[in-house]
Amino acid sequence: MNRDLILGIETSCDDTAACLIKGNDIVSEMVYSQIVHQRWGGVIPELASRDHAKKILPTVRFIMEESGYKLSDLDAISVTAGPGLKGSVLVGLVFAKALAYMLDIPIIGVNHLEAHIFGALIGDRPPVPFIAFLVSGGHTHLYLSEKPGKYKLLGKTRDDAAGEAFDKIAKFLGYSYPGGPHIERLANEGKKERFKLPIAMKSHDSLDFSFSGIKTAAITAWENRDMNKNFSDKDLAAGLQESISQTLINKLKQAIKQTKVKTVIASGGVLANTQIRNQILELKNDNVQIIIPTKKYCTDNAMMVAYAGKFRLHNDYRSSLEFSAEPNMKLENTTFAI
């Protein structure tokens, strides 16, 4: 059997998403981004899981109807098992398990971070060795993969994730969650030289990141705005985007230098930011192969979950119906490799 028609389900944070893939084609997909969190400046876990519970069935029903396939045509279901908000992950997981049990088809629980990697590959085999650079609201992590399905942690943030820093400063400036797109819009009209924020961990050998110093410097500038008659939130946003972008690119360059690996897969919501994308793409001039999904697929979606599941399924991996949500699931602990 080909096991070709795969349903992907993603509910690990604030997006309820489903996607149907057949072979290397995306047949139909939907991402419902929750709006209940906007006024709070961040994701409220209890509101997220309740909203997923309301939206998961209509989301899956919509993509099945749009595809023209029936549930009985499905060959397998792939679902995010972690990392993420426990209650949110559980909604997708329980739904997927019930469907897999009813249809008597395989279910594959996937790691959300590995899904970001496979969303960039869209069915291609992992180009090992490669560096995975995952930059989102919950992660700023660098991994080395030398074997498909196996990952070694090179470095990670010691405090906030890059997306979290964008979100927190945007909240100070009075913008709703998620803050990254607001900061980018403001930064496009600002002058980055006006606020020189720190570039963190610049001279450290470690491949870890830190964003708390940048965040504190930005908040201090905002709190002292009355003393600066030329204060502009556009300039502050431009300065923030610049220092986060430099911090990210410095560590990525350092990781390439230390590992001598010249293929990078970069993904996660923060890579929807044009300046950060462009800076990473510029590494092509140094003969680095850069694989980044289109902006739409950098942020959370179910296409990436479907392809991560497909990779595992086609390598004879299946989850038992007993597996549970793992809020702190680590990519480096994955036991599966081919």
Q: Would residue 174 be called left, alpha or beta, if left means φ above 0 and alpha means ψ between -120 and 50 degrees?
A: left
User: Within positions 280 to 319, which residues make up the interface with ligand KG4, using CB under 6 A?
Assistant: 299-300
* Per-residue interface string for the shown chain with ligand KG4, residues 226-265, x marking contact by CB under 6 A: ----------------------------------------
For position 167 contacting ligand KG4 by CB under 6 A, the verdict is yes
The residue range among 131-139, 190-198, 214-222, 327-335 that interacts with ligand KG4, by the rule CB under 6 A, is: 131-139
- Residues 6+ positions from 104 with CB-CB distance below 8 Å: none
Backbone φ and ψ for 152, nearest 5 degrees, come out as -115, 130
Nearest distance from residue 71's CB to ligand KG4, in Å? 28
For position 83 contacting ligand KG4 by CB under 6 A, the verdict is no
Is-contact 84 327, C-beta < 8 A? Answer: yes
Q: How far apart are CA 137 and CA 48, in angstroms?
A: 15
Of the residues 8, 82, 106, 180, which one makes contact with ligand KG4 according to CB under 6 A: 180
99 HSE (CA, 13 A, CB side): 26
Nearest distance from residue 15's CB to ligand KG4, in Å? 7
Q: What is the DSSP code string of 185-246?
A: HHHTTS-GGGS----TTTT-SS--B--HHHHHHHHHHHHTGGG-TT--HHHHHHHHHHHHHH
Of the residues 120, 272, 302, 305, which one makes contact with ligand KG4 according to CB under 6 A: 272
Residues constituting the chain = 338
Of the residues 82, 106, 138, 293, which one makes contact with ligand KG4 according to CB under 6 A: 138
**Residue 207 or residue 272: which is nearer to ligand KG4 going by CB?**
272
Of the residues 92, 149, 269, 293, which one makes contact with ligand KG4 according to CB under 6 A: 269
Of the residues 19, 300, 312, 319, which one makes contact with Zn ion according to CB under 5 A: 300
Q: How far apart are CA 294 and CA 290, in angstroms?
A: 12
Instruction: Name the one residue in this structure whose structure tokens are 């599941």.
Output: 309
195's contact among ligand KG4, Zn ion, none, with CB below 5 to 8 A by partner kind, is: none
Nearest distance from residue 70's CB to Zn ion, in Å? 30
For residue 325, give the nearest of 51, 73, 66, 49 by alpha carbon.
49
The residue range among 103-111, 147-155, 163-171, 327-335 that interacts with ligand KG4, by the rule CB under 6 A, is: 163-171
- Residues 6+ positions from 323 with CB-CB distance below 8 Å: 81, 93, 109
137's contact among Zn ion, ligand KG4, none, with CB below 5 to 8 A by partner kind, is: ligand KG4
**Residue 105 or residue 161: which is nearer to ligand KG4 going by CB?**
161
Q: How far apart are CA 217 and CA 233, in angstroms?
A: 14
Question: Which tokens in the block code for residue 227?
Answer: 């003393």
CA dist 332 → 153, 294, 301, 325 (Å): 6, 26, 22, 17
For position 136 contacting Zn ion by CB under 5 A, the verdict is yes
The residue range among 159-167, 220-228, 285-293, 315-323 that interacts with ligand KG4, by the rule CB under 6 A, is: 159-167
Of the residues 270, 280, 308, 331, which one makes contact with ligand KG4 according to CB under 6 A: 270
Helix (H) or strand (E) holding 81: strand 76-82
Binding footprint of Zn ion on the chain (CB under 5 A):
136, 300
Provide the binding-site residues for ligand KG4, judged by CB under 6 A: 13, 136-138, 163, 166-167, 178-181, 184, 268-270, 272-273, 299-300
